[in-house]
Structure 1
Amino acid sequence: MIDRLMYGAAAAALVLAACEQPPAAPAPEENGTSEAEMSASDAAADAAAMPAAEGGALAALDNNPFAEEWTENFGAPPLDQINEAHFMPAFEAAIADHAAEIAAIAGNPEEPTFENTMLAMEMSGRGLSRVAAVFGNLTSSASNDELRAIQREVSPMLARHSASITLNGDLFARIDTLYQNRADLDLSEQQARLLEVTHDQFVRAGAQLGEEERARYAEIRSELATLYTQFSQNELGDRESWYMELPEGALEDLPASMVSAARAAARARDMDGAIITLDRSSVEPFLETSPDRELRERAWRGFYNRGNNDNEFNNNQLIRDILVLRQEQAQLLGFESWAHYRTAGTMAETPEAAIDLMEQVWWPARQRALEELADIQAMIDAEGGDFEAEGWDWRYYTQRVREERYSIDPAEVAQYLELDRMIDAMFYTAGRLFNISFHERNDIPVYHPDVRVWEVHNAEGDVIALFYGDYFARQGKRSGAWMSSFRAQNGITGEIPLILNNCNYNRPAEGEPALISFTDATTLFHELGHGLHGILSNTEYPSLAGTSVDRDFVEFHAQILEHWLAQPEILETYATHYETGEPMPVELLERVLEAQTFNAGFENVEFLNSGFVDMAFHLEENPSEIDVEAFEAEVLESRQNLRQIPMRHRSTHFLHSFSGEGYAAGYYSYLWAGVLDNDGFAVFEEAGDIFDPEASQRLYEVFSGGNTRPAMELYTGFRGREPSVEPLLRNRGLLTEVEG
């Protein structure tokens, strides 16, 4: 998953908070006057009226690290000097500076040119980019009450500021003039692409609306920013408030590594004993290994009911409010629904195409899941269990079926998957593919002791990026795994990208190794794939850099890298025992690889359940009337879903869909990217070399190209043709059912 925190110039107008809120945004408070009452022009006027000294309002701040550009450590933020008190003054000043820059561009009496309009926009908002990127990363990865309070105030401010730019009629007139005359401007390929992308983004952000519609559009953006913030904070609050204490007797039946993690989780809350939390890295291994059915049910219900409890963190009404506003926004822009608005211009192009792709996988996946359920029930019956399998039984009995069928013990496998060795493995993979190397730095300031930093060098030894890795779960950090940045690559200034990967693995006890599962290791490779998309970016303009691509293309870069982890060449070298250093035994390695498609029915059905519900929400004609839980059930029952397999992300904690807009009516994009990555990795399989130089160079062009060309052009340039769904079905073990 990615967070669009790469604020760069023109992109600042479109991405800053309003368009794609980071999924960990905190909750709003009432501020008296409605934030939505200010029109876009009022917001711009107020921002421009803020006091500004020579060099701008931000530069005039005293004793504030954001007041000047950072020059040490390749421009890395001085995180050891930044505290909560710096943010609000910096945001206010940076918004004022950016508003003044935009006003100067929009009011320029000269005829619009690429240089005085597009390039000027690309170079604007640099101070705001610095402030917003640091703040966004801290609220996701190291949040606290003070940061959350600031976020409650900042989110609608940024939404108003974004609207004041995208709804600026004079500014859009200049962009539109250039766009209408683009054939006569002698633009380079990237200049033409920047103009095309920016014009489209402004149109999609309401630039062609009438005056009254613009005012309403601005109100909607502000209201949504507040709702996204509240949804995210509710999920975080509900998740962090829940824990389950484990009796000492229950610990005897759990793997030693899980017991260690459970005790560490208790210590992190200043508690004695051992606890299970609702972090996925805590609760899912417990559901896989605990023989105590009652405890499993408590953990399962706690996990799937986040945001749906009778407390202050309930998200049901927020979902309705968000859907109503999204529908109104889409219809203001002339789209039938939010789903049509979000898929327009993507690789899928329409919600119908996205649904059709999901349908192609659904029925073979469901059939496989029925077979898996039969295996689970057979084991329950053989043991004399007088009950039908339920959701809280699936992972436990699936793991036992896996052990019986493949003789795989997750605890045994984890002994060969030590986190540092897996980091080495992913760096080795990136190095072989793209001729780069990673060199750790221990002197660059970070926001938490867990965070590590590496310089990334190219083949000539030049530093092309800084890479931050934050791998352990903790309070104040949102769940899941994601990539973001402190700065995008900028070809105009020569600034290198500053890329951040976050995961949520269990922190081991002091002195013990961090042993992870094969799934965790896959996530590690996945997020580095996103990271490499930013690291390798080589574009002229920051608005086209890195992950600034179609949402249903952006996951390709992450998912294709996952394939290398499962290659014997990687595992034989890096999957070594944490104590002896011995490589994973060949027969165990073979069993691990053979089991990769095991439980594929569950995994695909669980994902598709979320994909179908996400799309159905955003096609619904009367969202204000939705009973969220009943709506979920109706969508799932319409495809004869198995009751034991819920959505991977239930609606009330579906951060992808309701904490921002990046994956709203776009959760299908992981499957779309799955078609691309399986088809794409076949290039290396066909070459007979997982590091084939020619294929690697073509793949580099995709990773480095950002949004300089349409997504399908980039993909076909790599693959030589459009993608086929067959490799995905084959690699997920679903092809036989389709053919039959």
Structure 2
Amino acid sequence: MSNPFQNPSTLPFQLPPFAQIREEDFLPAFETGIREHLAEIEAIIAEPEPASFDNTIVAMERAGQALRRVALVFFNNSSAHSTEGIQAVETEIAPRLAAHEDNIYLNAALFARVNAVETSGLDAESARLADEYRQRFVRAGAQLDDAAQHRLRELNGELSRLSTEFGQRLLRDTNASALLVDDASELDGLSADDIASAADAAGAAGHPGQYLLTLILPTSQPALESLTNRETRRRLHEASVNRGSRDNADNTIRVAAEMAALRAERASLLGFTNHAELATDDQTAPSLDAIHEMLERLAQPAARNARAEAEQLEDVAGHPVEAWDWSFYSEKVRSERYDVDLAALRPYFELDRVLNDGVFFAANKLYGLTFHEREDLQGYHPEVRIWEVREEDGSELGLFLGDYYTRDTKNGGAWMNSFVEQSRLGGTRAVVVNNLNVSRPPAGEPTLLTFDEVRTTFHEFGHALHGLFSDVTYPLFSGTSVPRDFVEYPSQVNEMWMLWPEVVSNYARHHQTGEALPQEMIDKLVAARKWGEGFATTEYLGAALLDLAWHELPPGTTMEDPLAFEKQALHDAGVDYAPVPPRYRTGYFKHIFAGGYSAAYYAYIWSEVLDADSVEWFKESGGLTRENGEHFRRELLSRGYSVDPLDAFAAFRGRAASIDPLLERRGLAEQS
């Protein structure tokens, strides 16, 4: 049988033929894809005509399609369904792909052709593409001498290997760190469905009669909000924060330290002081100093707010509040002060209603989209659902896949990936997937989301819209292929519709009675938004500043004690407050050691400046209207990286962004 990746899929929108794809197909598909891509590159170099935009830049955009097809599927699966077979392929192929990229971007003859392309007379998107390729060659080391390029290749290969190792170790240790309890009484405070799910998880893991609380990626675990047993809370919290730092085969902190050292060396080879300077050189932030200035402006007032919140928690608790107590007593304060019990809201947040009557409903009102489930199409896992997305006039836009449930083979957290990227050059439209980690309910029971899971569902769909709405010529600029400190912005904007009156009244209905979530409760949720922002901002800044500390290490630094370094880094940044640990500690900071966000975790709050300002625009302009949606789509969501992202924002907003709405949102306006 021919390999299913060899030719473009014949399924609608070129959806990968998942029914035909086997694990043993991936490695030969990668090997064939690499060979074909190199042959295409050699043909570009051997072209007898002088270098032109068409025979060099466009030819590079057309090259490597078979490799791209397999890579897009494989690297989604390595996160969403990482079986032992997938992990074995990833271990082998990751350094080979790094070497392949080096063989292209360190090819002197190819770089010479790219440099020789004349851009005068090109349209703006084409000229931008040629310039982007030149910059990528330079940043990849094309101007280094042979010895430096040789060492760069070694570093890239080793870093690729270590990144794969970090991710695989973390997945194993996260599964191994799940909290096993003997008696249901230890889970008092959890709902009956949550306890039943814990029993099912324990049975599936070989512990019948017991209960297993699995871990999500961030430090704070959802069950900590409800568990009344303080000892269970402590055990769950410590299971979370100790991931990757235990003295076992799946220790990740030593891998992280080695990666930080190698990244520092690579940055030095490329002419940068440290990896953070290299990583932020092509972002929307004007400089590393500007990033620090913003984070430091927020750190002190955020920590002050967190300490003020702690005093209120201790008044309720009657004892000093530890990290494992925070969520539990924070919910008590929220309940007493605002009369909001987040756990009691879950019956109103049934997954299908949230999707169809919330997320999709808002997209229809803003953009005219309709969603049609395609049960005739198959995803990469039986739990994956597929919708065809159509425009208001009925024309086809793309496919949206949803993979919502947690499983042992899935990484923690939530994310969006593309299987097919839109481009006019290739005649393709977008096929995108959202991944979440929602606990599967007992058989026959509805899937009820937490308040945070509802927010995450709206957030990730914002990424999906960014991919689906892409309207660019060249694949390099498609959809979410924008700087890290801009990519979170559209998804954060989409969160606003979660509690928008017209939207929440449509989806938030009790799954048994059909009763709408009372308006007074919605009003209380809106009023309670600023409660806990001290905690939320401090835990986020702890992670962002820890990321920068690891990646501002000078070349040659030897890290004997990564945990001591982490502790000192948080202290030096002014966010070392024990009851509020960072959102990610080094051992499970997958974003930066296995997820492409190294020295870029600051991006979430940098993007939130744009988000908060955009929310103000929507409110000032009439909110959930087709006119507003079309303006946002036309000026920003459809542009990908075909224009400067900040120019796209200014075209949408009518001016540059202001930080004031963000400060107001996070309760920092009077303290900054």
Please tell me the TM-score bracket, short chain as reference. Answer: over 0.9
Distance 1:699 1:575 in 2: 26
SS at match of 1:548: coil
Q: Work out the CA distance in 2 between the residues paired with 1:130 and 1:346.
A: 27
Task: Detail structure 1 runs of 4+ shifted over 3 Å in the superposition.
Answer: 280-283
Query: 1:257·1:411 contact (CA, 8 Å) conserved in 2?
Result: no
Is 1:212 matched up with 2:212?
no
Q: Give 1:31's aligned residue.
A: none
Q: CA separation of 1:695/1:360 partners in 2, compared to 1, >3 Å: closer, same or farther?
A: farther
Contact 1:323–1:624 (Cα < 8 Å) also in 2: no
Q: Secondary structure at the match of 1:308?
A: coil
Question: Is 1:586 matched up with 2:519?
Answer: yes
When normalised by structure 2's length, the TM-score is 0.97
Pair 1:733 & 2:641 matched: no
What corresponds to 2:199 in structure 1?
Answer: 263
1:391 aligns with 2:323: yes
Aligned counterpart, 1:551: 484
Q: Note the alpha carbon deviations across 1:529-568, whole angstroms, 9 max, x for none.
A: 1111110000001111101111101110110111111212
Counterpart residue type for residue 527 of structure 2: E
Q: Which moved more, 1:240-249 or 1:292-301?
A: 240-249
Alignment-mate amino acid for residue 214 of structure 1: Q
The Cα shift of 1:626 comes to: 5.1
2:236 corresponds to: 299
Identity of aligned residues (%): 38
- Measured against aligned partners, the alpha-carbon deviations of 1:416-463 in whole angstroms (never above 9, x if no partner) come to 111111112111112222222211100111121211000111122121
- Give the counterpart of 1:243 among 167, 172, 178: 178
The answer to whether structure 1 residue 428 and structure 2 residue 361 are counterparts is: yes
Which one of the candidate residues 389, 395, 399 is aligned to 1:466?
399
Tell me how large the CA RMSD over aligned residues is.
Answer: 1.6
CA shift in 2, pair 1:623/1:281, >3 Å: closer
Residues 625-655 of structure 1 deviation map (CA, whole Å, 9 limit, x = unaligned): 3521111111222215321111100011101
TM-score by length of 1: 0.88
* Cα 1:695–1:150 shift into 2, 3 Å: closer
Contact 1:414/1:517, CA 8 A, preserved across alignment? yes
Structure 1: gaps (5+ residues)? 1-61
2:116 to 143, 167, 177: 177
Alignment equivalent of 1:450, drawn from 364, 367, 383? 383
Q: Does 1:371 align with 2:308?
A: yes
CA distance in 2, matches of 1:700, 1:517: 33
Residues 276-291 of structure 1: pairs in structure 2 closer than 5 A: 276-279=213-216, 284-291=221-228
CA contact (8 A) 1:416 1:577 kept: yes
| Cα distance in 2 for residues equivalent to 1:232 and 1:574 | 36
Task: Provide the residue aligned with 2:83 in structure 1.
Answer: 144
Q: Give unmatched runs, 5+ long, in structure 2.
A: none
After TM superposition, list the pairs within 5 Å mapping 1:492-571 onto structure 2. 492-571=425-504
| Equivalent in 335, 354, 362 of residue 403 of structure 1 | 335
Pairs within 5 Å for 1:59-208: 62-178=1-117, 181-183=118-120, 186-208=121-143
Aligned to 2:597: 663
CA–CA distance in structure 2, aligned partners of residues 365 and 254 of structure 1: 30
Shift of 1:67: 2.6
Give the SS at the match of 1:151. helix
2:399 aligns to what SS in structure 1?
Answer: strand
Distance 1:330 1:432 in 2: 47
Rate the CA distance shift 1:472–1:284 in 2: closer, same or farther, 3 A.
Answer: same
| Distance in structure 1 (CA, Å) of the matches to 2:589 and 2:652 | 33
**Residues 542, 575 of structure 2: 8 Å contact kept:** no
Structure 1 residue 250: deviation in Å?
A: 2.2
Q: 1:253 to 1:474 in 2, by over 3 A?
A: same
Alignment correspondent of 1:361: 298
Aligned position for 2:162: 227
Deviations along 1:184-213, one digit per CA (max 9) or x if unpaired, are xx1011111111111111111111111111
> Which residue of 1 is the match for residue 651 of structure 2?
717
Matched, 1:491 2:449: no
Q: Which amino acid in the other structure matches residue 103 of structure 1?
A: E
What is the correspondence of 1:283-362 to structure 2 with a 5 Å cutoff?
284-362=221-299
Partners of 1:696 and 1:566 lie apart in 2 by: 21
1:279 Cα offset (Å): 2.4
User: In the aligned structure 2, how far is the partner of 1:735 from the partner of 1:680?
Assistant: 17
Give 1:536's aligned amino acid.
Answer: F
Cα deviation, 1:601-641, whole Å, max 9, x if unaligned, reads 10100000011111111112253235211111112222153
Instruction: Look up the equivalent residue of 1:659 and give its one-letter code.
Output: A
Correspondence 1:676-695 to 2 at 5 A: 676-691=610-625, 693-694=627-628
Separation in 2, partners of 1:345, 1:113: 25
String of CA shifts for 1:310-359, please: whole Å, max 9, x gaps: 10011122122111111111111111111111111211132111111112
Residues 182 and 700 of structure 1: CA distance in aligned 2, closer, same or farther (over 3 Å): closer
Corresponding residue SS for 2:5: helix
Do the aligned residues in 1 keep the contact of 2:220 with 2:583 (CA within 8 Å)? no
The whole-number CA distance in structure 2 between the counterparts of 1:419 and 1:150 is 34
In structure 2, relative to structure 1, the CA distance for the partners of 1:505 and 1:108 (3 Å cut) is: same
Deviation at 1:81, TM superposition (A): 1.0
In 1, Cα distance between the equivalents of 2:632 and 2:74? Answer: 36
Deviation, 1:271, is 3.2
Task: Output aligned runs, 1:600-639, within 5 Å.
Answer: 600-621=533-554, 622-625=556-559, 627-638=561-572, 639=574
Q: 1:254, 1:229 → 2: CA distance?
A: 35
> Deviation of residue 256 (structure 1)?
2.1
Measured against aligned partners, the alpha-carbon deviations of 1:561-616 in whole angstroms (never above 9, x if no partner) come to 11111212211111111111111011111112211221111010000001111111
Change in Cα spacing, 1:261 to 1:282, as seen in structure 2 (3 Å) is farther
3-state DSSP of counterpart to 1:736: coil
Please tell me whether the aligned partners of residues 497 and 503 of structure 2 are also in contact (alpha carbons under 8 angstroms). yes
Contact 1:224/1:322 (8 A) holds in 2: yes
Distance 1:733 1:696 in 2: 31
